[in-house]
Amino acid sequence: MSQPQVKQHASLEIDPTLLDAVITGTKQGLEMAGINPPPVGASRFFSTSRPISVMVGLVGRTNGTCAVSLTEKAMLHVAGKLTGEPCSQMNAESIDAIGEIGNMIAGRVKELLVGSEFEMQNISVPSVIIGQSYGVHYARGMHTISVDFELEEMPITDLRERFFTVSLSLLRRVAG
């Protein structure tokens, strides 16, 4: 009897150091808000159609960005968890809270990459981008990973709203 043929698939070639930094950094960054979202998918590309993003610059021997992209309902849920009070509409307080969430995640990612070829020294003030019609273009040589997470505590009726993405795009540091 012959053995069935096993089809070989190409690897996604996701850098394991960056994958671990995004997953662990996101989970640790959200601990303060009492959120523990499981990762549900990963890609080598930065792509999102969600209307709210927090961008945090990463600078030093390695440069790049950390971005958190989510829907308005997910943003209000996460902001409410951080502030300890429900957020029902987008306002200055909820925008500040989601900016701080981006800052907490980027800060943890920065700490997790110390000693790696992706180490950086500083992070920027977070910028909150509202509107889904934008594109992000990076220079050649960027190493990018995007990980999708699920906010399981949101109602199942908001299934499409329960997901957010954390993306990391970095240049490897120059030797020396």
Alpha helices in 46-161 (DSSP H): 72-83, 92-112
Separation between Cα atoms, residue 171 and residue 144, nearest integer Å: 9
Three-state secondary-structure class, residue 62: coil
What is the model's pLDDT at position 173? 58
pTM given for the model = 0.88
Full set of structural domains in the chain with CATH:
39-170 (3.40.1550.10)
What is the model's pLDDT at position 144? 87
User: pLDDT for 72-119, tens place per residue?
Assistant: 999 999 999 999 998 999 999 999 999 999 999 999 999 999 999 899
Say which residue the tokens 């190493």 belong to: 143
Residue partners of 33: CB distance under 8 A and separation at least 6? 78, 81, 82, 101
pLDDT at position 176 over 60? no
